[in-house]
């Protein structure tokens, strides 16, 4: 028997999380610290407000931070390939844990190719199945 490990996605949630991760990486590259981002420091507020103003043409003072943040996030593209890579990374992580931490023979677990079909992706995580 072989354990089949398939990475799954909640496309909307996972896309939003990848957008947030990309935005935070951009902010770190622009010189903000993790603490600035985590605490929403004045530097963070200024960086979000500046990006918001660039894309909307509106003053950052005219919109709540949440609206600014959401609009900035929407400008960050996340490809289907990135989502598929996330699903595969999840499956690899689980197989690695099973093999390295629990001692499962590596040939007893296989990683299945995930897809973006909404019917197959009702949740974020992994699906385990058995094949004989």
In CATH, what number is assigned to the domain containing residue 111? 3.30.1330.60
Q: Are residues 7 and 19 in the same domain?
A: no
Q: What is the pLDDT averaged over residues 7-19? A: 95
Higher-pLDDT residue of 70, 120: 70
Determine phi and psi for 124, rounding to 5 degrees. Answer: -95, 130
pLDDT recorded at residue 116: 86
Q: Are residues 85 and 48 in the same domain?
A: no
Using CA atoms, how far residue 77 sits from 23, 68, 88, 119, 123, in Å, is: 11, 17, 19, 23, 21
| pLDDT category of residue 18 using cuts at 50, 70 and 90 | very high
Query: How many independent structural domains does the chain possess?
Result: 2
Decide: residue 37, CB within 10 A, 0-12 exposed, 13-18 middle, 19+ buried.
middle
Q: What is the pTM (predicted TM-score) of this model?
A: 0.84
pLDDT recorded at residue 119: 85
């Amino acid at each position: 028997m072989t354990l089949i490990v398939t990475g799954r996605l909640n496309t909307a949630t996972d896309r939003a999380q990848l957008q947030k991760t990309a935005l935070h990486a951009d902010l770190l590259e622009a010189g903000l610290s993790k603490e600035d981002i985590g605490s929403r420091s004045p530097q963070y507020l200024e960086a979000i407000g500046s990006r918001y103003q660039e894309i909307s043409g509106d003053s950052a003072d005219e919109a709540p931070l949440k609206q600014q943040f959401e609009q900035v996030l929407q400008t960050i593209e996340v490809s289907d390939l990135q989502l598929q890579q996330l699903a595969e990374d999840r499956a690899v992580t689980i197989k690695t844990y099973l093999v390295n931490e629990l001692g499962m023979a590596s040939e007893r677990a296989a990683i299945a190719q995930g897809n973006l079909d909404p019917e197959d992706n009702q949740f974020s995580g992994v699906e385990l199945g058995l094949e004989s």
